[in-house]
Chains A and B, each alone.
Chain A
Amino acid sequence: MWYRLLTVNTSVISCQSLTKEYLSTRKEPGLLGTLRSFVSPHRVTVRAVQDFNLEVGTGEIVGLLGPNGAGKTTLIKMLTGIVAPSHGIARVLGYEPFRRPKDFRRRISLVMGQKTQLWLDIPAYDSFQLLQRYYEVPEDQFTRRVHSLGEMLGVRHLFHTHIRRLSLGERMKMELMACLLHNPDLCILDEPTIGLDVVAQKHIRDFFKAYQRENKTTIILTSHYMADIEALCPRIVLVLGGRKRFDGTIGDFERVLGREKFVSMSFGEPVDRTHPLWEGLNPQWGEEGTSVELQIEEGALRERSIAILSTFPVVDYSTEKLPIERVLKTLLANPHLLPG
């Protein structure tokens, strides 16, 4: 296809200045607002994604982070050809997504944690067979793949149960199977673990780790569960207000707020919270005043810890890097702390 030739690099995803604008109607509350909106609707242009540049190479796993409404899903919709960009260029696997050529559709997959793509009224296996035909998967390859994926996800015994009778976790596993049956080159996972219990979440994370190791599939993952991101994504892209605000390794992301250690301490009895030793350590006190969480500069960790240990009756002490969840929370509340 001629539009495939437009891309000469080896990027799986390449976006330049990608922008999506929507026309939205604003309505004031109440009957008067309804009437006004009916007679003269107040339309505003909303920029869901603005000037977005992104390069993703083959086999990469990228975590797309951001609060609700940041523009992550709109970006995904543009990358999969579901919605047309307003401006800018997007190339995915060498194709222009919105043209949606069949070869492009055969090579991608999208899992939406909040929407089922399987047919609820029929058993999963029937859906798989339908997808086998759509994606033109040879019979022997299909049988092998269905059984190995079913084994990995532990759902083989549920193949012939109607989808609507499955639990949320079981259904999500079937969705994952459906999206991987054709061995896509690019797999986009939009909140794949939403609503699942911690055991099911871990199961799905482990599955993807093993799957990616084996198949070298390029994966884009959005999730509000930082455990998903930490377990799977060496690279993070943070989206805020439709713009890319961070793009780097998970290690760099953890250090955006500085090289600080996260220290937890417990005491044998309540301690003086006003003591000057706590200054500059952002103490987060437990209810009883017998435990505290501190943020201490890596270089000052030894000295400050010794001072506290020798002043107060510490009975427990632990230290770790600043959790990514806390980094994200801090950055969402204070976006000015982000570089650039």
Chain B
Amino acid sequence: MSRREIGKWRKTISVSLSRYMAFKADFFLMLVAPSFVFIAINYNIWRTIFESRGGGSISGFTMEQMLHYQCWSFVVALLVRSHRTWNLSEHIRLGRLTAFLLYPFDAWKFYASEFIAFQLLQLTTVVLVLGSLRYFDFLPPLNSDAVLVGLAFSLLVSVLWFVIDFTFGLAAFWLEEVWIFRVIFSFFAVLFSGAFIPIELFPPALQQFLAYTPFPFITSVPAHIFMGTSGVSLWSATVTLLGWIGGLGVCASILWRRGLRLYSAAGI
């Protein structure tokens, strides 16, 4: 990548940061609130389930491990599932994509820069959240190696999430409304990624099936890496993840080229 190209990315990221921070309350709520509500519900449900059983373990999870898993899945959610490329489908539908087609900086790079800016802010939030979870004893003393590897892996997973989200956004070239597909996908992503119920609690056949999908990467794998209980090799997980990102990236690129031929720049 040339210095000029890096300059374009840097400036777009910096402008995106300014835009995100232009509305401070909205920004804070967008960053933390959805995941926080989810974890608060989850955490209390699992505590109630274990307390009503009088302790013990469920599929190898003690109450303490389950609550730690829920806290880590909250951290993963902040890093992986918070960013939304909703505006891509809106830009296509309302003709706002036009401006991005005219600039000599490709549209996908613009959306990717926005995503990077968001993740930079989100990383700061995660550090604060981790500090708070530890301070209030929701988490045991942190293993710095596991945390660093977990953060790096989660950021890589967030790229997968971005590519999936971007691909869904491209559906707007063919469909007037795409939000329902995204909502359905988000629902399955929460369910099958282990964000609510750890994958280990699913029937073995379903667990085997999910191993061939990208869902476990969205919560279960990174949460276990943070906890230091990951049963899979980090390298093979990373290679598989990169395979998913590459494969979906190719799909997005094909959809982009085909979709652009249908773009009518409505509204101008």
Contacts from A to B (Cβ < 8 Å)? 22, 73, 77, 80-84, 100, 102-103, 105-106, 108-110, 112, 114-115, 117, 119, 121-122, 126-127, 129-131, 133-136, 162, 190
**Residues of A contacting B261 in the complex (Cβ-Cβ under 8 angstroms):** 84
Q: Give which listed residue, B12, B15, B98, contacts A112 with CB less than 8 A.
A: B98
A250 to B99 alpha-carbon distance, docked (Å):
32
Contacts A73-B268, A119-B19 given; does A102 touch B104 at CB 8 Å: yes
**Residues of B contacting A84 in the complex (Cβ-Cβ under 8 angstroms):** 260-261
Task: Give A48's nearest chain B residue, CB to CB.
Answer: B264
Q: Give which listed residue, A82, A110, A127, contacts B263 with CB less than 8 A.
A: A82
**Residues of B contacting A119 in the complex (Cβ-Cβ under 8 angstroms):** 15, 19
Tell me how far the C-beta of B236 lies from the nearest C-beta in chain A, rounded to whole angstroms. Answer: 39
A103 to B104 alpha-carbon distance, docked (Å):
8
Q: A100 touching B105 by the CB < 8 A rule?
A: no
Tell me how far the C-beta of B1 lies from the nearest C-beta in chain A, rounded to whole angstroms. Answer: 14
With A82-B98, A117-B99 known, 13 other A-B pairs at CB within 8 A are: A80-B102, A83-B264, A83-B265, A84-B261, A110-B98, A115-B95, A115-B99, A121-B18, A126-B15, A130-B11, A133-B8, A133-B12, A135-B104
**Residues of A contacting B264 in the complex (Cβ-Cβ under 8 angstroms):** 22, 83
Could you mark each residue 91-110 of chain B with 1 if its beta carbon is under 8 Å from any beta carbon of chain A, else 0?
Answer: 00001101101111100000
Tell me how far the C-beta of B65 lies from the nearest C-beta in chain A, rounded to whole angstroms. Answer: 44
Q: B104 touching A134 by the CB < 8 A rule?
A: yes
Question: Which 8 pairs of residues, A with B, have the shortest CB-CB distance?
Answer: A105-B104, A121-B22, A117-B99, A133-B11, A102-B104, A134-B105, A121-B19, A133-B8
Q: Give which listed residue, B99, B104, B260, B265, contacts A77 with CB less than 8 A.
A: B265
**Residues of B contacting A131 in the complex (Cβ-Cβ under 8 angstroms):** 103
**Residues of B contacting A82 in the complex (Cβ-Cβ under 8 angstroms):** 98, 101-102, 263, 265
Could you mark each residue 246-268 of chain B with 1 if its beta carbon is under 8 Å from any beta carbon of chain A, else 0?
Answer: 00000000000000110111011
**Residues of B contacting A112 in the complex (Cβ-Cβ under 8 angstroms):** 98, 268
**Residues of A contacting B23 in the complex (Cβ-Cβ under 8 angstroms):** 121
**Residues of A contacting B265 in the complex (Cβ-Cβ under 8 angstroms):** 77, 82-83
A112 to B264 alpha-carbon distance, docked (Å):
15
**Residues of B contacting A136 in the complex (Cβ-Cβ under 8 angstroms):** 4, 104
Interface residue B7 (Cβ < 8 Å from any Cβ of A): yes
**Residues of A contacting B15 in the complex (Cβ-Cβ under 8 angstroms):** 119, 122, 126-127, 130
**Residues of A contacting B8 in the complex (Cβ-Cβ under 8 angstroms):** 133-134
Contacts A77-B265, A112-B268, A130-B12 given; does A100 touch B22 at CB 8 Å: no
Task: Give B267's nearest chain A residue, CB to CB.
Answer: A115
**Residues of B contacting A133 in the complex (Cβ-Cβ under 8 angstroms):** 4, 7-8, 11-12, 105
26 A-B pairs within 8 Å (CB atoms) are namely A73-B268, A81-B102, A82-B98, A82-B102, A82-B265, A84-B261, A106-B104, A114-B268, A115-B96, A115-B98, A115-B99, A115-B268, A119-B15, A119-B19, A121-B18, A121-B19, A122-B19, A122-B22, A126-B15, A130-B11, A130-B12, A133-B12, A134-B8, A134-B104, A134-B105, A135-B104
Q: A134 touching B103 by the CB < 8 A rule?
A: yes
Q: A109 touching B102 by the CB < 8 A rule?
A: yes
Instruction: Pick the most buried of B15, B104, B263: most chain A CB atoms within 10 A of its CB.
Output: B104
A126 to B22 alpha-carbon distance, docked (Å):
13
A203 to B215 alpha-carbon distance, docked (Å):
58
Tell me how far the C-beta of A318 lies from the nearest C-beta in chain B, rounded to whole angstroms. Answer: 41
**Residues of A contacting B105 in the complex (Cβ-Cβ under 8 angstroms):** 133-134
Q: B12 touching A105 by the CB < 8 A rule?
A: no
Tell me how far the C-beta of B139 lies from the nearest C-beta in chain A, rounded to whole angstroms. Answer: 36
Task: Give A108's nearest chain B residue, CB to CB.
Answer: B102
A267 to B178 alpha-carbon distance, docked (Å):
66
**Residues of A contacting B19 in the complex (Cβ-Cβ under 8 angstroms):** 119, 121-122
